[in-house]
A and B are shown apart, each in its own frame.
Chain A
Amino acid sequence: MSDFQRFLVKRTAIAAVLTLVAISVIFVILRLLPGSPFETLITTGNLTPEQAQEIIAAYGLNEPILQQYIKYVENLLTFQFGYSIRRSQPVWAILGPRLLNTLLLLIPALITTAVLSSLLGMYAGWNRGSITEKLSIVVTTFLRSTPVFITAIFLLIVFGYQLGLVPTFGMRSLTASPDGLIETYLSVDFLHHYVLPFTVAVLFYSGDFLLLARNGVVEKKGSAFLKLHEAKGLTEVEQLLRAGRNSLLPIITYFALRLGMVFQGLILLEVVFAWPGIGRLLVVAIRQQDYPLIQAAVFIMALAVIVMNLVADSLYEYLDPTVSTTGGGT
């Protein structure tokens, strides 16, 4: 077995254990929550106590805790998320479309910003001390340190309420009743609702990519291999591209990590724009104590992070074997 294969096996095993631990933590927290969704249903008169007992039995909540736990782990690992308590619908039927909405918003935003702000960052790093560099650092520092809902609110007020250029609420107009995926997502109406949340997401993600690219180029700029290229008579742009290629590794791994976090959605962004994504769904589900829905949503979020961490680590190991797996740490 090569070193890389051994690394991969070890890391995959760790990821599997982590998944199990994460699932267990969620289980424990949910069991510790006081009250249950059924209590509210009973006190509001929507369920008689007898009906409630039946439903509790149907959800297996009267079995011994260990048995509940084993069943729970089995179900999650096979993506059997069960039925939502408050919406009497299968969890997947609720979660699936929301997840799609989130990914459709955030993955294009992430790709856009990874390309644009990395290029801008390289340019800024190459032109140290320039106005472009200073300005880009201030602007991106603002964008990455300010909570995303504040940026969202600023832009919402300016472009939504004051200028009235874009809708301020939701993913489609209230009057729209599209059928099927194509009608839902391929329309001017959708695009109109899409543009502002998309812009905020791009701005929010931009800072880290820009700084990574800039710092990478700045660190490479004085190094010997670039002097060689300069001596060989390569143009500035060609040199920059070579310096850029050498600082690509952190950008790629960071992209993978961010991709893992995309599945949680930018909860606050979705709330501000009332975007029907998974983050906003989770906030509502937590308020309603809809256990199966919460379990499934948090599980998907955690799994995505664990898998993409694994991918990022493996990419790093594969692309740059000089970084030892135990030494680097960052």
Chain B
Amino acid sequence: MSTGSASVRERLVGRYGWIVDQLRFLAGDRLALGGAVVIALFGFLGLFGPLLAPHDPVAYSARTASGSIAVLDAPNLDSWFGTTAFGKDVFSQFLAGARPTLIVGLVGGIGTGVIGFLVGLTSGYFGGYVDELLMRLTDLTFSLPLTPMALLLLTFVRPNVWLIALIIMLFLWKMPARVVRSEVLAVKNRTFVRSARASGAGHLRTMFYHIAPNVLATGFLYTAYGIAWSISLQASLAFLGFGDPTATSWGRMLRQVFASGAIRVAWWWVLPPAIGIAAVTTSVFLIGRRYEERINPEIQSSQ
């Protein structure tokens, strides 16, 4: 992909065309398209949610007509999604809560994809001792139980969103690493790779110019799955009380409604964050499935 001579405008059109292509591909499957819409909404919330929130999610307290704090109000005109057991506006918390969810999802997911891709590529390409060493390392991360280890680590450092993202990627890179490795093994003995080596291409050049493009699709797919896993894990940790104590996140909202006992009555406090998390993770997997079918056409759902 040489864009050296292309003008900025052509490049923009090229990029725009790429997005249109992707959307057209996703539109071929109603579920994947629905997923894309949900993800776009979620991204929008992550970027602008805290700005759109009508009230401060933590500081503001809703008041009743008589001036006392409105505790556990059902949805009404003042607070569209009702209020919490502490008189906070659920709608504002929901809008603000998308951001930490998005940050951990993106950072954790992309980190997972990049580390896994590089490890898989190196391991598959060099083979031998390098492969043995890296694969035993993935075995180790497989054998350390993820949630318990994350809980342990989060007790000795004050949790924040970046740290949680880091812990997630430290444990999840093993997934793409194994799959990418097995694909590299299939690609590396093909003729064009051999001839590149024979004509004097160095290791790095062969790895990144000749092999990597052929396994890139899998790398992207697992990055997407990594995002879903990260969101899910972040929400789980927050629900257990090991999340960032300063951030309003969907997982933390669920923890509060559960811990306060209000879960018995306050469905309006439970549903927004619960549906938010479920919708986003499911959407990522529906889109991922569409791409998986492209990579492996044999499993397509419509003939």
Contact = CB atoms under 8 A, between A and B. Distances in A.
B254 A153 contact: yes
Interface in B112-151: 124, 131, 135-136, 139-140, 142-145, 147-149, 151
Given A147-B277, A150-B278, A29 B156 contact: yes
B148 A267 contact: yes
A309 B302 CA distance: 35
A145 B232 contact: yes
Contacts of B274: 150, 153-154
Nearest to A222: B298
Contacts of A133: 301
B281 A14 contact: no
A97 B162 CA distance: 37
Contacts of B303: 128-129
Contact of B139 (A14, A30, A34, A271): A14
Nearest to A221: B298
A29 B181 contact: no
A22 interface: yes
A14 B156 contact: no
Contacts of B263: 153, 156-157, 161
Contact of A145 (B152, B254, B281): B281
Instruction: Name the prevailing secondary structure of the B interface residues.
Output: helix
B143 A306 contact: yes
Contacts of A279: 147
A294 B289 CA distance: 38
A214 B278 CA distance: 24
Chain A interface size band reads: 35 or more
A129 B152 CA distance: 46
A185 to B, nearest CB: 26
Given A32-B156, A128-B303, A282 B236 contact: no
A330 B178 contact: yes
Given A145-B281, A219-B298, A286 B152 contact: yes
Given A133-B301, A264-B145, A268-B239, A141 B289 contact: yes
B140 A22 contact: yes
B286 A298 contact: no
B257 to A, nearest CB: 9
A297 B148 contact: yes
Contacts of A305: 142-143, 145
A256 interface: no
B148 A138 contact: no
Given A141-B289, A153-B263, A327-B185, A146 B282 contact: yes
Instruction: Name the prevailing secondary structure of the A interface residues.
Output: helix
Given A129-B301, A137-B289, A147-B236, A298 B145 contact: yes
Contacts of B265: 161
Contacts of A272: 258
Contacts of B298: 215, 218-219
Given A14-B139, A22-B143, A145-B228, A301 B148 contact: yes
A216 to B, nearest CB: 10
A11 to B, nearest CB: 10
A60 to B, nearest CB: 21
Contact of A329 (B178, B228, B301): B178
A298 B254 CA distance: 26
A155 to B, nearest CB: 11
Nearest to B154: A286
A134 interface: yes
B41 interface: no
Interface string B35-76: 000000000000000000000000000000000000000000
A301 B145 contact: yes
Interface string A207-235: 00000001100110000000000000000
A149 interface: yes
A283 B258 contact: no
A309 B135 CA distance: 14
Given A33-B156, A264-B147, 11 more contacts: A18-B143, A32-B156, A128-B302, A138-B286, A146-B232, A157-B267, A161-B265, A214-B299, A283-B151, A305-B142, A309-B139
22 contacts: A19-B143, A29-B153, A33-B152, A133-B301, A141-B282, A147-B236, A161-B265, A214-B299, A267-B148, A267-B236, A267-B240, A268-B147, A268-B240, A279-B147, A282-B151, A283-B151, A294-B152, A305-B143, A309-B139, A326-B131, A329-B135, A329-B178
